[in-house]
């Protein structure tokens, strides 16, 4: 009976025509009785049995399945650059690696009433209602091995805003005189495909475009910085206007660099190979079932 209840917990509700997106221990107990697995069982008992094997059907996490058939081939160069290698050879002192992307639709939300600061026994209070005062697209680049961040706020994304970000970086030393500057980007419309690679090399001959696979933002280190920016500056969002929002974003760059260190990135080609193999086995198992 225990095995049958655990098997029930591992089924998708839709497979049994149940009107749930996920099952609680009480739902599983009720379904076990309805199927005749047992005459009576409590949700607490179900929870205890499932805990033995860390089965938690009431929980879920989002993920993006790697649909690019050349995922490993395209992700490999990015992971190599994080390990300071390119095409099997170590990077030299004149090589730099930049991870770049844009964080779109950052709104300036002016709260309709003043908040209250933290007090003993009371959290900070932020008014729920707000007025929208416009939004920025934040274009940024992160020097992977030097822990330097460059960014600017634009009214929209596109080739020209991306060009301005590239100019911001490449007109400064050491990038201006560098032997090679690798630009890691996702597949956004302003930096996608061979046209983007050619365009970047025309802007700056020492710049090399290195795209991630489709749906692989987790490979782009700038996303780590964006998450820090979101926590430290943009949450809660309380800005009177776009100028104030822009000022805080750009001042945070300077503040962050004072103590910043390169992110401790340990995920390698071998780790990726193992992940893709597990995903493949999982998919094959689902198809067989």
Does 234 reside within a domain?
yes
Residue 40: per-residue pLDDT: 92
Q: Are residues 124 and 222 in the same domain?
A: yes
Does 269 reside within a domain?
no
Q: Are residues 181 and 128 in the same domain?
A: yes
d(CA 62, CA 64): 7
Does 238 reside within a domain?
yes
Report whether pLDDT(46) > 70.
yes
Count of the separate structural domains present in the chain? 2
Q: Convert the pLDDT of each residue in 155-213 to its tens digit.
A: 999 999 999 999 999 999 999 999 999 999 998 888 888 999 999 999 999 999 999 99
DSSP E strand boundaries for the chain: 85-86, 89-90, 95-111, 130-143, 148-154, 180-185, 207-211
What's the CATH number where 155 sits? 3.30.420.10
Q: Which domain holds residue 239?
A: 71-257
Task: Tell me the pLDDT of the chain averaged across its residues.
Answer: 92
Q: What is the mean pLDDT of residues 261-268?
A: 95
Does 267 reside within a domain?
no
Angle between helices 222-229 and 242-257 (to 10 degrees): 120
H or E element, residue 25? helix 25-34
Q: Are residues 134 and 175 in the same domain?
A: yes
Residue 285: per-residue pLDDT: 52
Does 289 reside within a domain?
no
Q: Are residues 92 and 232 in the same domain?
A: yes
Strands 130-143 and 148-154 turn out to be antiparallel
Please tell me whether residue 103 adopts helix, strand or coil conformation.
Answer: strand
Contact indicator for 175, 96 with CB cutoff of 8 Å: yes
Q: Are residues 36 and 160 in the same domain?
A: no
Tokens 């974003």 label which residue?
A: 249
Q: Are residues 181 and 241 in the same domain?
A: yes
**Nearest residue to 83 via CA among 241, 237, 280, 269:** 269
Q: Are residues 36 and 75 in the same domain?
A: no
Q: Convert the pLDDT of each residue in 120-164 to its tens digit.
A: 999 999 999 999 999 999 999 999 999 999 999 999 999 999 999
Q: Are residues 75 and 45 in the same domain?
A: no
d(CA 104, CA 191): 15
Report whether pLDDT(224) > 70.
yes
Does 9 reside within a domain?
yes
Does 60 reside within a domain?
no
Q: Are residues 22 and 128 in the same domain?
A: no
Q: Convert the pLDDT of each residue in 81-132 to its tens digit.
A: 999 999 999 999 999 999 999 999 999 999 999 999 999 999 999 999 999 9
């Amino acid at each position: 009976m225990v095995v049958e209840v655990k098997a029930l917990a591992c089924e998708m509700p839709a497979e049994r025509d149940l009107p749930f997106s996920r099952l609680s221990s009480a739902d599983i107990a009720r379904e076990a009785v309805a199927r005749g697995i047992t005459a009576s069982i409590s949700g607490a008992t179900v929870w205890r049995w499932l805990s033995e094997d860390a089965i938690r059907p009431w929980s879920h996490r989002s993920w993006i399945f790697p649909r690019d058939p050349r995922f490993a081939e395209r992700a490999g160069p990015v992971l190599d650059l994080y390990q300071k290698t390119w095409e099997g050879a170590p990077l030299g002192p004149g090589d730099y690696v930049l991870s770049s992307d844009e964080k779109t639709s950052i709104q300036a939300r002016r709260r309709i009433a003043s908040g209250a600061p933290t007090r003993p026994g009371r959290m900070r209070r932020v008014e729920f209602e707000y007025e929208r005062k416009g939004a920025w697209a934040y274009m940024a680049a992160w020097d992977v091995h030097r822990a330097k961040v460059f960014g600017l706020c634009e009214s929209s994304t596109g080739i020209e805003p991306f060009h301005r970000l590239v100019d911001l970086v490449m007109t400064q030393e050491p990038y201006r005189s560098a032997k090679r500057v690798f630009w890691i980007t996702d597949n956004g419309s302003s930096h996608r495909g061979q046209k983007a690679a050619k365009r970047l090399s025309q802007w700056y001959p020492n710049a090399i475009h290195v795209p991630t696979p489709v749906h692989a933002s987790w490979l782009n280190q700038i996303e780590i910085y964006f998450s820090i920016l979101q926590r430290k500056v943009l949450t809660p969002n309380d800005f009177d206007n776009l100028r104030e929002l822009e000022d805080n974003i750009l001042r945070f760059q300077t503040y962050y660099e004072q103590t910043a260190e390169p992110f401790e990135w340990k995920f390698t080609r071998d780790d990726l190979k193992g992940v893709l193999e597990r995903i493949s086995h999982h998919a094959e198992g689902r198809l067989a079932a």
